[in-house]
Structure 1
Amino acid sequence: MLLFLLLAGHPPYHGESAGEIALKHANEPIPSLRAERPDVPEAVELVMRVALAKSPAGRFPTIAALADALMMAIQGDQPPVVPAMPPMPPTSSSPRRIRVHARRTAFTWSRAFTMISILVVLSGLVGILLFFAAIPFHLEELPILPFQNLGQSGGLRVNPGGGLAPTPTSGTVKPSAPSTTSYTGNPSSPSGHATPTTGITPSPITNVTATPHPSGTPTPVVCTTGSLNIDGSPYLEPALQQITHDYGNLCSGLNLLLRGDGTRALNFVQKGRVDIAASDVTAMTTRNLTDHPLAALLYAVIASPDVSINGLTSVEIQGIFTGHITNWSQVGGPNEAISVLLPPPTAAINAILRTFVMNGMAEKARGLVMKRDRPDILAQYVSQTPGAISYVPLAVANTASVQTLSIDGVAPSTQALLAGTYQFWSVEHLYTEGNGTSQAQAFLQFAESSQEMSVLSQFGAVPIGMVNAGILSSHLPGPQF
């Protein structure tokens, strides 16, 4: 298709939509390249027709076969051999081959230009393949619909041994879409906490006062040069964006890159692809990673504004997400069907809900499942869908037009977490390989400093040093990955 476009100046088929073009590709005859470019040799025309064959069996079996046939057709000094079908195991009879005889023509500049164009195209294709082979390709960043309809929502489950494992779903699920923030420090930027661009506006959740440094002065900031790559939790990412922004303002020589790839960042830090992995679940001890717990992050069960209830019990939440409760009237609400909207099956928040709210039960209710782990978009859909219910980080719930429901009579708040009466929260870990690089060590010291405690509280997180050891132990190790 690309070769035809470059040689003819337009694609072989035209249409107003991708579906129309696909139908033409399947039903209409292959257009003639020489009708557009009479100077193109007949052998190149024949090679092009084999490459555009309707049946896969009639095309070249490999890119190498296409390249060989094309080069022989251009050279014209020997007839190219075009395989009529993919290579078959050796049999008593040899595979049928079609010999294409090129008509010899005198050298012309147009023919030389055609040959150079084809070589440039082949070189470009090889370069593209090498480029994508050298970097991680995130298929989920392609434009896709935000939801898929599943009969049962699969995802991660809590194993008896504490690990997470995938459960089957009835459809193909795209991984969560990461966001990327690249920031290079700028000493001329204004000091203080600027709002990062993440779709989540920090809002004070409780009146939490940061504990000052014992000396009455801020913790000294250690600056390094080079680069620092942080990847992991999309739920903690808004707070980390603000912290990296603050750190970059003070340390201009460090290039910071922040992504939100989720729990797979634990694999990346083990392979040395990132310096710090932020995780909402505990890394299994077999990974041999060093844990730097940063905060406790609050989550909330949310409902659409038309649902006139203030809260649910844990048993009612279990009944809704397992599919046993399907109407709001069954829990004291209006006579309205419950629409369940869920994060992606691989999202860490699913395992956190099952562990601390669902009593280990998995979500089996019929509903819509997000293809990307974007809690801000999920909250928007809940606000616009009558009778909808879901769960998101509390910071997201506080900035969306949704109802935040209490659980067992307790509303999500810092005070409730510290008192041990609210259970839907997780420990946020920052993992490094060993003690981490010098850049990672300096950043971790800054992130855990007293001046950044207020940043955590703005994004629904409680600094880990404020949580009582007994309450903290109730959520450790928690779900593991």
Structure 2
Amino acid sequence: MKLKKTFLTVLTLAFTLSLTACGTKDTATTDSNTSGTDKPALSGSILASGSTALQPLVDQVGKKFMDKNSGVSIQVQGGGSGTGLTQVSGGQVQIGNSDVFASEKIKDEAAAKALVDHQVAVVAIAAVTNPEVGVKSLTKQQLVDIFTGKITNWKEVQGKDVKIAIINRPSSSGTRATFEKFALGTKTEDLKGSIQEDSSGTVKKLVTETPGAIGYLALSYIDDKVTALQYDGVDANVDNVISGKYPVWAYEHMYTKGEPDASTKAFLDYFMTDEVQNGDITELGYIPFSKMQVKRDVEGNVTK
């Protein structure tokens, strides 16, 4: 009798241990599957500074990214491409936004090579005037003569008898570098009486409000408040940039110092998604890489 009772006790204990073991195994499997499929939540702060031509895009995409990733905070500042490149090189920001290649602004070769280039879009830039000047198109030479002070009145280029007021960008500006390189073909000195502004938004405001004003803006800033001039008879529009007919354009770069951290990388990767490339980029007047029929190297040479 005692032997039978002992046997039943052992059998019951073995059964209980078996059930416990099975339960533990199922729980472990579930936990393993969950941790294997769920990505850890992104967190941290990202500060981007630099190009004001690129700023509207980075700002809009940044807000959408934060909506999808509540643990990430993104701040976007202007200051010009040179400022953005200097600050990312110095470690003050995570991203330096630029309209030009880093080597064009950072002369220290080692410092420039330490930056990783993330090209997110193409931007086109056009000369713009106050709508009252009465001019719709300028040649390359006429633009050069205006920005070097040889032409000082709009009547000299079939416009109204109004003195030309130049609204320029500072030397740190990537927009200025792009305009001088591809529209003028030469660097220019700052003329006495010209106005310098480091914000594309302010340039647009001044051109709108100043009689006889001329400046230059990314297409993303242009509306009916200013007149976008033809360049050698070619309209500054997306189709002409894509085909290579309109030459005043550049890549939009978002530089990091070395490889980015997880949150910054995810943000940069988000720019290359179909949602952004065929959504925000085209909506704001930029051009996706995939649509370009021509390419441009760091020297400015264009190839098909």
Give TM-score, length-normalised by structure 1: 0.50
Structure 1 residues 299 and 223: CA distance shift in structure 2, 3 A: farther
Q: CA deviation at 1:245?
A: 0.7
Which of residues 50, 71, 75 in structure 2 aligns to 1:253? 71
Distance 1:271 1:381 in 2: 33
State the identity %: 29
Partner-residue secondary structure (3-state), 2:290: helix
Contact 2:79 2:199 in 1 (8 A): no
Contact 1:222 1:442 in 2 (8 A): no
Which of residues 291, 302, 311 in structure 1 aligns to 2:117? 291
Q: CA deviation at 1:455?
A: 0.7
- What is aligned with 2:286? 461
- What is aligned with 2:215? 390
What per-residue deviation string (whole Å, max 9, x for no partner) do you get for residues 330-356 of structure 1?
212223222222223332222111110
- What one-letter code is carried by the residue in structure 1 that aligns with 2:221? V
Q: CA deviation at 1:229?
A: 2.0
Which of residues 241, 257, 270 in structure 1 aligns to 2:59? 241
Contact 1:281 1:478 in 2 (8 A): no
Distance 2:154 2:90 in 1: 48
Q: CA deviation at 1:233?
A: 1.2
- What is aligned with 2:227? 403
Distance 1:264 1:309 in 2: 34
Is 1:375 the counterpart of 2:193? The answer is no
Which of residues 229, 234, 242 in structure 1 aligns to 2:47? 229
Q: CA deviation at 1:364?
A: 4.9
Which of residues 265, 269, 280 in structure 1 aligns to 2:99? 280
- What is aligned with 2:133? 307
Range 387-396 or range 265-274, more displaced:
265-274
- What is aligned with 1:476? 298
Which of residues 417, 424, 438 in structure 1 aligns to 2:248? 424
Distance 1:478 1:237 in 2: 23
- What one-letter code is carried by the residue in structure 1 that aligns with 2:251? V
What per-residue deviation string (whole Å, max 9, x for no partner) do you get for residues 6-54 of structure 1?
xxxxxxxxxxxxxxxxxxxxxxxxxxxxxxxxxxxxxxxxxxxxxxxxx
Distance 2:186 2:267 in 1: 36
What per-residue deviation string (whole Å, max 9, x for no partner) do you get for residues 455-474 of structure 1?
11222211223223xx222x
Distance 2:198 2:190 in 1: 19
Of structures 1 and 2, the one scoring higher in RCO (CA 8 A, sep 6+) is 2
- What one-letter code is carried by the residue in structure 1 that aligns with 2:101? T
Which of residues 273, 276, 287 in structure 2 aligns to 1:449? 273
Partner-residue secondary structure (3-state), 2:287: strand
Partner-residue secondary structure (3-state), 2:160: coil
Unaligned runs of 5+ in 2: 1-38, 104-108
Q: CA deviation at 1:478?
A: 4.4
Task: State the superposition RMSD in angstroms.
Answer: 2.1
Structure 1 residues 352 and 293: CA distance shift in structure 2, 3 A: same
Q: CA deviation at 1:313?
A: 0.7
Give the 4+ runs in structure 1 shifted more than 4 A. Answer: none
- What is aligned with 2:172? 346
Q: CA deviation at 1:477?
A: 4.1
Distance 2:157 2:90 in 1: 48
Q: CA deviation at 1:397?
A: 2.1
- What one-letter code is carried by the residue in structure 1 that aligns with 2:87? F
Q: CA deviation at 1:326?
A: 1.4
Partner-residue secondary structure (3-state), 2:149: coil
Is 1:332 the counterpart of 2:154? The answer is no
Q: Which has the higher helix share?
A: 2
- What one-letter code is carried by the residue in structure 2 that aligns with 1:441? K
Distance 1:222 1:382 in 2: 48
- What is aligned with 1:436? 260
Q: CA deviation at 1:420?
A: 0.4
Q: CA deviation at 1:363?
A: 4.2
Distance 1:295 1:223 in 2: 27
Contact 1:456 1:463 in 2 (8 A): yes
Give TM-score, length-normalised by structure 2: 0.77
Contact 2:51 2:99 in 1 (8 A): yes
Structure 1 residues 363 and 404: CA distance shift in structure 2, 3 A: farther
- What is aligned with 1:412? 236
After TM superposition, the structure 1 = structure 2 runs for residues 69-80 of structure 1, keeping only pairs within 5 Å, are: none
Distance 2:93 2:43 in 1: 16
Q: CA deviation at 1:368?
A: 2.5
After TM superposition, the structure 1 = structure 2 runs for residues 78-227 of structure 1, keeping only pairs within 5 Å, are: 224-227=42-45
Contact 1:307 1:334 in 2 (8 A): yes
Q: CA deviation at 1:362?
A: 0.9
Partner-residue secondary structure (3-state), 1:306: helix
Distance 2:250 2:125 in 1: 8
Distance 2:152 2:247 in 1: 24
Contact 1:282 1:477 in 2 (8 A): no
- What is aligned with 1:78? none
